[in-house]
Structure 1
Amino acid sequence: MVGDVPGPGCRRRCAGLRSLRGPSRPTRRGPDLPHGGRCRRRTRHPPRPDSDDDRRVTPLPTEPVPAVPRRPRRPAPGRRPRASRPAQQRRRWTDGWADDRDGGGGGTVRIAVVGPSRLPIAPPFGGGLEVFVHHLVAGLRRRGLTVDLFAARGSIGHQAALEFPGIDWTGFEDLARDDAYPPGADETETESYVRVRRHLDSSDYDVIHNNSSHPVMLHPDPMGSPPMITTLHVPPQEPMQKAIDAAGSAAGRFTAVSRFTAAQWNLPTSPQVVHNGVDTRLWTPGPGGQGAVWFGRLTREKAPHLAIETCRRLGLPLTLIGRNADPAYFHSQIRPHLGSDVRWMGSLSPREIVRQVGLADVALVTPAWDEPFGLVSIEAMACGTPVAAIARGGVAEVLEDVPDHLAAPGCPDDLVRAAVAALRQPRAEARALATSRFDLDIMLDRYLHHFLGVLTP
C-alpha cells in the first residue's frame, strides 16, 4: 500500500491505543494517531469461528517463535551504560498495540510471559494459575501482540528450547504434594530458571511478565534487562520476599490478584490489583438442578472434606471435580466418604467441567488457607451457579457483592447457612456478577494498561 491512506491494521492498532491511553491528545505527527495515520502496514484477520463450539476452547498458537535478537551485553569503551530505553523507541513500540478481540493483530510489541514451572499450561489444567496463564497468553495473542511463553514441559505454544522440566513424582507417588519436590527436582528447577533469566536479560523483549514465585526471576541483569512486571499469585514466600528485599526497585513493578494478597507482601512500590478473569464465552450458563459441586485441586488447604460435611447436613448430592494433588490427604479424608451421594470425577476437560458446574445448584468453595483469589468462584458464577464460600483471603473480596454467601472460617454451621443463602440466588444474577466484574476482557484491558505504563515515559 502506498500514500497516506491507513490500512485496516493501522486503524485497529490506533483504536486499541486510543482505548488504552484514554482521551485524545496531540502528538508530534497528528492530533490523534501516534503516527499521524500514515501507516503502510496491512494486517489480515484470521477467519472468525463458524459456531459456538469453535469458540469454546482457545488453544494457544503453536507456530515457531522467531529468534530473539540479542542486544549488546556491555557498553562500548568510553560510553556510559544506557539508563533507559529512548522515548522515541517507546513511542514506536506503542504503535504496535492492537485491540482485536477475535484475532488478527500485526503489532510489533514483544512480551515474554514466564509461567509456573511445576505443571504444563495445557488442559486438563493443574490449577488456577495454569488457567490464568493460558487465557492471558491466548488473549494477548488474539489482540495482536507477539507473546513468547516460558513454561513447563508439555505446555501448548511455549518456548520448548527453554522449557521448565516440571515435577515427576514417579517412584514417590505417596509423597506427592504441590508444595514439595521429589529428590533432585528443586535443583533442576533452579537451573532451568537461571537459563531463562539469562535469556531474558540478553533479549530484546519490550516487557517481561513474570508469573513465577521463583527468586531467580527477581535478579535481573543490572546492565539493562527489559522492564518486568511480576504478578503475585501466592501468599508471601520467604525466598521470594528475600529476593525482593535484596533487589529493591530493580525487581521491577508488581501487580497482585487481590487486595488481600497485595497487602501481604512487603514491596518497594505499591502493587496494582488486577483481579483474575473468566472467559465467559467458555463458561456459559447451565440449568442447575443436580445438587452441589466442588471443583479444584483436592488438597488439604482447599479442604473439600468440608464441602462433603456441609452437603450431607443439607441432604444435597455432591460432585467433586479435580486432580488428587495430595494423596495422603485424599486417602484419609476423601476416599472413605465417597458413595452414592458423593462422587469424585477426577480431572475433566474444560468443556466437561463447564457442563458439570452448570448442572449444579450451588458451588462450594472451602479454603482452609488464605486463598489469594479463588478462580473457581467466578467460573461457577459465570455458569449461573451461585457460590457459598468460607471467607478466607481473596475469596471474601470476590464475593463482596453477596456477603450472605460468605461463612466464618472454622464454623461448619455458618457454612450451612451460607449455602442455603446461595441456593436462593437467581442464576441470572450470579452470571451477571461474573460478567460485570470478572470478564476476561476486563482483565486483559488492565494488564495492557500496565504493560503500556512501562513502555511510555
Structure 2
Amino acid sequence: MGAEALRLLVVSTPVGALGSGRGGGVELTLASLVAGLLERGHHLTVLAADGSRLPAGCERARLWSCPGVDQPSWQHQRRDSPVVMPAQALLPRLWQRAVGSQAGFDALINLAYDWLPFWLTPQLHTPLLHLVSMGSVAEVMDAVIADVARWDQRRLAFHTRAQADDFELSEAPVLVGNGFDLEAYGFCAAPEPLLGWVGRIAPEKGLEDAARAAALLGRRLAVWGLVEDPAYAAAVEAAVPAGTVDWRGFLPTSELQAELGRCAALLNTPKWNEAFGNVVVEAMACGVPVVAYRRGGPGELVQPGINGLLVPPDDVPALAAAVADAEGLDRQSCRAWVERTCSRAAFAERLERWLLSALGRSPA
C-alpha cells in the first residue's frame, strides 16, 4: 500500500442481508471493495442488515448489523415517486448507527442508492462518500445527487461514463469501474451449445428478449438469478416454446461460475441504463463472449470482436443473429480483457485514489 491506512465504515444496501442475493450487484461490489481495500492495508467495518455474512476475502473486516424492514428499491418506482420510508425501516436505522459512530472513522462509504444518505452528506463531521450504484431512475434521486455534486463532487464516484452521464455534474466524474476476484472464476475453453443469461428476474432486466432470441435460434437458455417477480418469470416462460428457458436459480459465485463457464455465449438485455454490468464481466472471466445491447455500462464493457458483440437496444433479431459470430471469438481473449481491466487489485487502487482525493490526502 502506498498510502496511510484509513479507517472506513462501509454502509451496505438496505435491500436484503448480505449473502441473500436481494441486493443484486451491490453485494458483489461490496465484496470487491472491502476485500481489495483490506489488501491495501486499510481497516474496514461493514454495516448491513441483520442476517448478513461477510463474503469470502472480507473476514478481516468487522461486521455490524441492524434489524429493520427492507427499503423499496428505486428501480421499481415511477420517476416522479416521492421518498418512501416503511414502518420499522432498515435504512434510517443503518444511518442512525453510522452517524452515531462517525467519530471512529476517517470516512464513511455509502453503497445504497437512497435519498437519505445523499441528503446527509453535508450534515456529517466525518466525510461521507458515495459509490453510486445506479443510473437515473427517479427525479428526487437525480436532484439529491446533483446537490451533492454542487456541494463537493469529490464525494461521488461512478462505475461507468454511461452511468455518470445520467446526472447533472459540475465537473468530470470519477470513474472506478468494478473489480472481481479472478481466482474465483475458472476459465472454460470447451463450452456446451448453451446460451446463458444472469440477473434478477425482473422486467427492467429484459429476460424476455433473451428468451425470444434463444427461441429464434432453437437454443436452450440457462437462466441464473433471484426471481424477484414470479408473474413476470411465468410470462417469459409462457411466451416461448417449452424447454427454451432452463431455470437454474440464484447461485453463489463459486457455483455460478462453474455452470456459467460452460455457456457458448451470454446474452445481456437490460431495458434500462445499467450502471456497470457485473454479470458481463463474470461471464468474460470464464471465457464466455457476450452479446449485449448497446446501452449503459455493458455498452462500454463489451469490446466488439474481442470479448463480444453489441447490437441495437431492444432488437431481438439482431441479438439472435449476433450469437454465431460471438461464439467464434477467442475465449482466451475474453478472459485476458478482464484480467487487464477488472481485477480486484486494480479496482481497489482506483478506489483508494478516489478516497484520498476526496479526503485531501496524497499517497505516500
Q: TM-score, normalised by structure 2?
A: 0.85
Letter in 1 for 2:107: V
What RMSD over aligned residues (CA atoms) do the two structures have, in Å?
2.9
Residues 111, 353 of structure 1: CA spacing in aligned structure 2 closer, same or farther, 3 A cutoff?
A: same
Spell out, residue by residue over 1:140-168, the C-alpha distance to the aligned partner (whole angstroms, 9 max, x if none). 22333211112222222487655262539
AA of the residue aligned to 2:361: T
Q: Give the aligned partner of residue 352 of structure 1.
A: 255
| Separation of aligned partners in 2, 1:426 and 1:186 | 52
Does structure 1 conserve the Cα–Cα contact (< 8 Å) formed by 2:196 and 2:267?
A: yes
- Mapping of residues 163-312 of structure 1, within 5 Å: 163=66, 165-167=68-70, 179=76, 185=86, 188-200=89-101, 202-220=102-120, 225-236=125-136, 237-246=138-147, 248-249=150-151, 253-286=155-188, 287-312=190-215
Q: What's 2:228 paired with?
A: 325
Structure 1 residue 258: Cα displacement: 0.4
CA change 1:113–1:338 in 2 (3 A) is: farther
> Bigger CA drift: 395-404 or 267-276?
395-404
Structure 1 counterpart of 2:324, from 405, 420, 423: 420
Matched to 1:203, the amino acid is A
User: Which residue number corresponds to residue 342 of structure 1?
Assistant: 245
Alpha-carbon distance between aligned partners in 2 of 1:95 and 1:433, rounded to the nearest angstrom: 31
CA 199–338 in structure 1, closer or farther in 2 if over 3 Å, else same:
farther
Q: Which SS does the other structure have where 2:205 is aligned?
A: coil
Contact 2:46 2:64 in 1 (8 A): no
User: What is the CA distance between 1:249 and its match in structure 2?
Assistant: 1.6
2:246 is paired with a residue whose SS is strand
1:111 aligns with 2:8: yes
Residues 114 and 208 in structure 1, CA contact (< 8 A), matched pair in contact too: yes
Q: 5+ unaligned residues in a row in structure 1: which ranges?
A: 1-15, 18-93, 97-108, 170-175
The separation in 1 between residues aligned to 2:335 and 2:153, in whole angstroms, is 38
The one-letter code sitting in structure 1 at the alignment partner of 2:334 is: A
Q: Contact conserved, 1:197 with 1:217, CA < 8 A, in 2?
A: no
Q: What secondary structure, in the 3-state scheme, does the structure 2 residue paired with 1:301 have?
A: helix
Offset at residue 269 of structure 1 (A): 4.4
The structure that is strand-richer by fraction is 2
Letter in 1 for 2:4: D
Separation of aligned partners in 2, 1:124 and 1:428: 29
Identity of aligned residues (%): 25
Match of 1:95 in 2: 4
In 1, the alpha carbon distance for the partners of 2:213 and 2:123 equals: 56
Match of 1:313 among 216, 222, 226: 216
1:405–1:222: structure 2 CA closer, same or farther, 3 Å change rule?
closer
Q: CA deviation at 1:234?
A: 0.7
Report the counterpart of residue 57 of structure 2 in structure 1. none
SS at match of 2:227: coil
- Whether the 8 Å contact between 2:133 and 2:159 is mirrored in structure 1 is yes
Alpha-carbon distance in 2 for matches of 1:405, 1:386: 8
Tell me the TM-score normalized by structure 1. 0.69
C-alpha distance in 1, partners of 2:267/2:289? 9
Query: Does structure 1 conserve the Cα–Cα contact (< 8 Å) formed by 2:211 and 2:236?
Result: no
Q: Is residue 133 of structure 1 aligned with residue 34 of structure 2?
A: no
- Over alpha carbons, which structure has the higher Rg? 1
User: Whole-Å Cα distance in 1 between the matches of residues 147 and 244 of structure 2?
Assistant: 53
* Match status 1:446 vs 2:343: no
Work out the CA distance in 2 between the residues paired with 1:443 and 1:231: 12
Between 366-375 and 221-230, report the one with greater CA deviation: 221-230
Q: How does 1:381-396 map to 2 (within 5 A)?
A: 381-396=284-299
Aligned-pair distance for 1:401? 4.5
Is 1:375 the equivalent of 2:284? Answer: no
Larger RCO of the pair (alpha carbons < 8 Å, separation 6+) = 2
Match of 2:42 among 134, 140, 145: 145
1:352 is aligned with what amino acid?
A: E
Q: CA deviation digits over 1:11-43, x for unaligned, max 9? A: xxxxx21xxxxxxxxxxxxxxxxxxxxxxxxxx
Mapped contact 2:22–2:226 kept (Cα < 8 A): no
Kindly state the Cα deviation for residue 191 of structure 1 after the two structures are TM-superposed: 2.7
CA distance in 1, matches of 2:315, 2:217: 15
Which AA in structure 2 matches 1:239?
A: V
1:200-242 Cα deviation digits (max 9, x unpaired): 5x42311222211222212347576222321121112323333
Which whole-Å CA distance do the structure 1 matches of 2:219 and 2:289 have between them?
15
Q: In the aligned structure 1, how far is the partner of 2:240 from the partner of 2:178?
A: 33
Do residues 397 (structure 1) and 294 (structure 2) align? no
Give aligned pairs, total: 346
